[in-house]
Amino acid sequence: MEIRLISICFSLFVLTHAEPVKFMDCGSAVGKVSIVDINPCPKQPCELRKGQSYSVNVTFNSNDESQTSRAVVHGVIAGVPIPFPIPIDDGCKSGIACPIQKDKSYSYVNQLPVKPEYPSIKLVVEWELRDDSGKDLFCIQFPVHITS
């Protein structure tokens, strides 16, 4: 009885407290990323089901000021970056209070919709947030598996 209760509690914990996603930095020129969270993502690489939407939360520190911020997302398939459209590319409407100040911590929060017509493959998502001079506040890469 007790063991069952513990395992139920553990399952709930795993479901609601996803571990931070392992990511690679691909050249955050004017920022430093500390945590990347994708929800839901109970095991890595994150499994993205077609027709679902996933929340992405990137916590980073800015090394510079910027009036604006714009997200650019690519799916990298066999080394080739293919544009991955997101509904809102304005970082200032994605959890960031603009203008961005120097040496401040920000959490960029957005949705990654997985369209039904996407192929069922493993790929790397490359997510950039560019400042007003086109430099990367962050550039991260993380592997995902698109499934139906």
Q: Given the rule CB under 6 A, which residues bind ligand NAG?
A: 35, 37, 57, 59, 107, 109
Task: Tell me the chain's radius of gyration from C-alpha atoms.
Answer: 17
Q: How far is the CB of 37 from ligand NAG (least distance, A)?
A: 5
Q: How far is the CB of 78 from ligand NAG (least distance, A)?
A: 31
Q: Give the residue closest to ligand NAG by C-beta.
A: 57
Cβ distance to ligand NAG smaller for residue 18 or 29: 18
Q: How far is the CB of 95 from ligand NAG (least distance, A)?
A: 6
| Residue in the structure block whose two tokens are 């513990």 | 6
Whole-angstrom distance, CA of residue 69 vs CA of residue 142: 21
- Helix, strand, coil shares of the chain, percent, nearest 5, are 10, 45, 40
Whole-angstrom distance, CA of residue 5 vs CA of residue 76: 42
Cβ distance to ligand NAG smaller for residue 68 or 107: 107
Q: How far is the CB of 59 from ligand NAG (least distance, A)?
A: 4
Indicate the pairing of strand 122-130 with strand 105-113.
unpaired
Cβ distance to ligand NAG smaller for residue 18 or 76: 18
Residues 121, 90, 54, 26: is their CA dihedral positive or negative?
Answer: positive
Cβ distance to ligand NAG smaller for residue 37 or 132: 37
